[in-house]
Amino acid sequence: MKQRKKSIIRFLASALIVFLVLFLLQRLLIPKYATGIVEGAFVAEYYKEENKQFDVIFVGDCEVYENFSPVVLWEEYGINSYIRGSAEQYIWQSYYLLEDSLRYNTPQVAVFNIQSLQFNESQSEAYNRMSIEGMKWTQSKVNAIKASMTEDEHFLDYVFPILRYHSRWSELTSDDLKYMFKSPSVSYNGYFMRVDTKPADYVPEGRNLPDYSFGDKAWYYMDMIRELCEKNGIQLIMVKAPSLYPTWYDEYEAQVVEYSHKYDIPYYNFLELKEAVGLDYSTDTYDAGLHLNINGAEKMSHYFGRILSDEYGVTDRRGDVELDKIWMKNINDYETEIDRQCILYGVDRNSLFRYSRKDQ
Amino acid sequence: MLFTSYSFIGFTGVLLSVYYLVPRRLQWIILLISSCVFYWVANPASLIYVSFTAFTIWGCAIMIDRDYGIQNEYIRLNKGTISKEDQKAFKARHKMIREIWTSFGIFLNIGILIVTKYFSFLAGLFTVQQNHFTDIIVPLGISFYTLQAVGYLIDVKRGTIKAEGNLFKMLLFVSFFPQVIQGPISRFSDLSVSLFGEHEPERKEINFALQRILWGYFKKLIVADRIAPAVITLVSDPAKYRGAYVIVALVLYTIELYADFTGGIDISIGVAGILGVKVTENFRRPYFSTSLKEYWRRWHITMSQWFREFVFYPVSTSKLVQGISKFARKHLGNRGKKVPVYFSSFIVWVATGLWHGANWTFIIWGMLNWLILTVSEELEPVYAAFHKKVGFSNSYGYKVFMCFRTILLICILNLFDCYSSVRDTISVLASIITETELGELFSDKMLTIGMSGLDYVIVLAGVFVMLAVSLIQEKGDVREYIWKMPYAIRFAIWFALFLSVLLIGAYGIGYDANQFIYNRF
């Protein structure tokens, strides 16, 4: 009896040590995305929000998280919004992120950036990781993994990330220790800020494609997004961000326009609304036209916020005590980051659209 | 299903749970179902091939056994009533019948092996036109299970074992999944008892088996698969990688082959072990051999035994070789008495080479092995005289020297495994002498072949661990040694080994999942 008791204690102690060591190693080895490539942190940051009663949810790739500023939407229209986007987020990932968001709240409007329709299969394991890893474990995450995995990937690697990142021990930095259990927020309601400017003086020409048709899988998830919104009474809006490249082909545009007409879904192609928005590619982009900087994002938000507010009646939540408090902090963090980046990139704060407009 | 894949680990885990939950008499059926699933997942056609082999070998063995029964019954019933001559004639007739059944079984199964594995090679010898046989799928593990099945049939024919009456047990014997990828090649008499037996979960046995599996993964994932990209790079372009690169290739390949093959066998034996099945050992620290002859007694033991038992003995006792023997004795006197042995060995080594692959490189490899062994045999008296004359031949240092000498020989022979043509192999071997600049061996160039500096350090550390373990194994069982230690220490040792495989193993995204080298043979 005594021997049996001893064996049980020994087994339990061993199991505890094994689990503890593996847990700590996993925490140490997984990428923290706190500095450098921070895009991988965006999806997880959503869950840190105490109040998730967002009226507008953006889903999509870099064309949403770099081109719309929820802070401006709040400041100017009282729109409580969040961007659930990550780098090269594929349409099936956008679908499952939207589905995941509905666990917390049903928004009035879902904005989907249609850039990802061009992909019928996941192109890169690294992007899959950045889009999916931060999701909380629900059926949506399981389905997102299944829909996204490339040939080399394995479901178990998502369940136990240590299997994926086991060899990162040779590239660990002090950040991995520092942010082992808690990382700082790097986005502003999902918005990725850049204050620096790199004018778009050259736009690479798109190469001819053998086939411009969007694939079956892409359309399947487009239908899924539409049906999810219909089922939940959410107004779906499709947008194309004003990124000068990669090339948005006329053939792509025709398919989206046809779909929007067929299902009566509003579609805004901001490439065609550049003048209306007031975009200036000599001041409003930080990477020569691929993504907008804070100037461009704020102009876009200023323009699009009016549409959301006037045409789709998104509620102005200003005056809600709890939200006012949350947004006051958000705005403060946002401006602090502007100041930090202005110093980092040597940008005159007052030259930014945000402050030059306020001065006028 | 790769042994290093999650699916294999999951498959084994599920099997283990079911295996010890079902009534013990059903355990062999669970093994049979698992083996069929294993084949089916690899390729449904493979399951058909292995089933055909099991069926034909089972049928032929039953007929042989039946014939033994008829013969023995006849002799028993007619004891004293028939003359010795009639009895002899009767036995000869029945021996002929048994030989026909044996030949039929061998012909069918070796025939399938030849068609699926060698037809392109043989057709290429006689035609320059491209043939369509390259499209034939080589069934999973066919080289291994065919030898195992044929060995069984010959054993039944020799009367050393009784034929297995249950077709499904025969199918399990031929298809037992841990042996599929790379052997070992088991004898029915060795495997069947534990394979068809009933097993209770024994804590120590299962622990040892799991430790063996872990050790196999250590060799495969930390050493072999870390080296593999460099070896692939080096042998893929013999025009570019010459001289010093060839030295690196032959050293790395020899380490890789050892870690890969012995690691795979460790996993095979370990997986069989957790199921209570005892599979024959295939290695005994081969790189500690002081001669090539000893090496072949320590490396791929079951294959060597198979060729000795089922090729060497039949060939050396055949009428042809007896004739050669007489001829040699007549013309060469005493010196001719070894000629039949050398002739039979030659056949064995050509067959061994061919078994490894349908390529001239393997045939030359086999012939070179034979040549070295034969020359060594002939020079044996010279060595003996030399050893007698010098005082240090029994010293530890001299033994180490002989080990290194043997390893060097093996390194060179192994190169014939690597390159796709004999011309390339000879060309790169010659380049070692004509083009090597020793400085290159330690230059940055060696970091551009698919291995980083860190990879070299890890491989070196892995080799030291394998060496240390082998040294302990020469004196006794490492696991037994660790088992006797206090729990905390043995837990720390095995957990450290597990963590090293988990963290340092070359698996997952960014690494190529490498099939075991011997799977291609």
Residues of chain B with C-beta less than 8 angstroms from the C-beta of A10: 487
The CB-side HSE value for B134 (13 A sphere, CA atoms) comes to 5
How far apart are the C-alpha atoms of A94 and A59, rounded to whole Å?
A: 6
Sign of the C-alpha dihedral, residues A57, A60, A64, A65? positive
Cα distances (angstroms) measured from residue B459 to each of A218, B225, B257 = 45, 10, 13
How far apart are the C-alpha atoms of A297 and A64, rounded to whole Å?
A: 9
pLDDT in tens, A206-234: 788 888 999 999 999 999 999 999 999 99
Give residue limits of the domains in chain A.
31-359
Residues of chain B in Cβ contact (below 8 Å) with chain A: 6, 454, 487, 491, 495, 499, 502-510
Both structure tokens of B141: 């593990």
Residues of chain B with C-beta less than 8 angstroms from the C-beta of A149: none
The CB-side HSE value for B109 (13 A sphere, CA atoms) comes to 32
Instruction: Give yes or no for residue A201 having a pLDDT over 70.
Output: yes
- pLDDT of res. A77: 96
- pLDDT of res. A35: 82
Cα distances (angstroms) measured from residue A357 to each of A299, A341, A343, A354, B484 = 10, 19, 20, 6, 79
Query: How high is the ipTM of this complex?
Result: 0.86
**DSSP H helices in chain A:** 2-29, 42-45, 62-65, 70-77, 91-101, 125-132, 139-148, 155-159, 161-165, 174-178, 216-231, 250-263, 274-277, 294-306, 321-345, 353-359
| Mean pLDDT value of segment A246-275 | 93
Question: With b meaning 16 or more CB within 10 Å and e meaning fewer, what string describes A174-203?
Answer: eebeebeeebebbbbbbbbbbbebbebeee
How far apart are the C-alpha atoms of B176 and B50, rounded to whole Å?
A: 10
Residues of chain A with C-beta less than 8 angstroms from the C-beta of B491: 14, 17
Query: Residue B51 in contact with residue B171, Cβ under 8 Å?
Result: yes
Query: Residue B512 in contact with residue B229, Cβ under 8 Å?
Result: yes
- Contacts of range A104-108, beta carbons closer than 8 Å, 24 or more positions apart: A104/A52, A104/A53, A105/A52, A105/A53, A105/A54, A106/A232, A106/A233, A106/A234, A107/A54, A107/A55, A107/A56, A107/A57, A107/A234, A108/A55, A108/A56, A108/A234, A108/A235, A108/A312, A108/A313, A108/A314, A108/A315
Which of these, A305, A248, A251, A296, lies nearest to A274 by C-alpha position?
A: A296
CB-nearest partner of A156 from B6, B504, B506:
B6
CATH assignment of A31-359? 3.40.50.1110
Residue A56 parent element (H or E): strand A56-60
Question: With b meaning 16 or more CB within 10 Å and e meaning fewer, what string describes B10-47?
Answer: ebbeebbeebbeeeeeebbebbbebbbebbeebeeebb
Residue B302 parent element (H or E): helix B301-307
**Ranges under pLDDT 70 in chain B:** 124-136, 512-521
Cα distances (angstroms) measured from residue A58 to each of A86, A118, A312, A318, B291 = 11, 18, 15, 20, 72
Which of these, B253, B277, B215, lies nearest to B417 by C-alpha position?
A: B253
B495, A17: Cβ pair inside 8 Å?
Answer: yes
A166, B502: Cβ pair inside 8 Å?
Answer: yes
Give residue limits of the domains in chain B.
21-198, 203-279+419-521, 298-406
How far apart are the C-alpha atoms of B270 and B207, rounded to whole Å?
A: 10
Tell me the shortest Cα–Cα distance from B508 to chain A, in angstroms.
6
How far apart are the C-alpha atoms of B453 and B469, rounded to whole Å?
A: 25
CB-nearest partner of A152 from B6, B487, B509:
B509
How far apart are the C-alpha atoms of B32 and B42, rounded to whole Å?
A: 15
Q: Give the mean pLDDT of chain B.
A: 89
Instruction: Give yes or no for residue A265 having a pLDDT over 80.
Output: yes
pLDDT in tens, A15-71: 999 999 999 999 999 998 888 888 889 999 999 998 999 999 999 999 999 999 999
Cα distances (angstroms) measured from residue B331 to each of B184, B317, B336, B377 = 42, 20, 7, 20
Q: Residue B422 phi/psi, 5° resolution?
A: -65, -40
- pLDDT of res. B338: 82
How far apart are the C-alpha atoms of B75 and B211, rounded to whole Å?
A: 54
- pLDDT of res. B337: 79
Tell me the shortest Cα–Cα distance from B245 to chain A, in angstroms.
27
pLDDT in tens, A314-347: 999 999 999 999 999 999 999 999 999 999 999 9
- pLDDT of res. B444: 86
CB-nearest partner of B509 from A25, A153, A169:
A153
How far apart are the C-alpha atoms of B290 and B195, rounded to whole Å?
A: 35
- pLDDT of res. B518: 57
Over its C-alpha atoms, chain B yields an Rg (Å, rounded) of 25
Which amino acid, residue B315?
V
SS3 B184: coil
How far apart are the C-alpha atoms of B404 and B395, rounded to whole Å?
A: 15
A166, B508: Cβ pair inside 8 Å?
Answer: yes
CB-nearest partner of A166 from B6, B495, B503:
B503
CB-nearest partner of A10 from B487, B502, B506:
B487
pLDDT in tens, A128-137: 999 999 999 9
Tell me the shortest Cα–Cα distance from A279 to chain B, in angstroms.
41
Q: What pTM was estimated for this model as a whole? A: 0.88
Both structure tokens of B112: 């399938």
- Please name the residues in contact with B503: beta carbons below 8 A apart, sequence gap of 6 or more: A25, A166, A167, A169
Over its C-alpha atoms, chain A yields an Rg (Å, rounded) of 22
pLDDT in tens, A118-165: 999 999 899 999 999 999 999 999 999 999 999 889 999 999 999 999
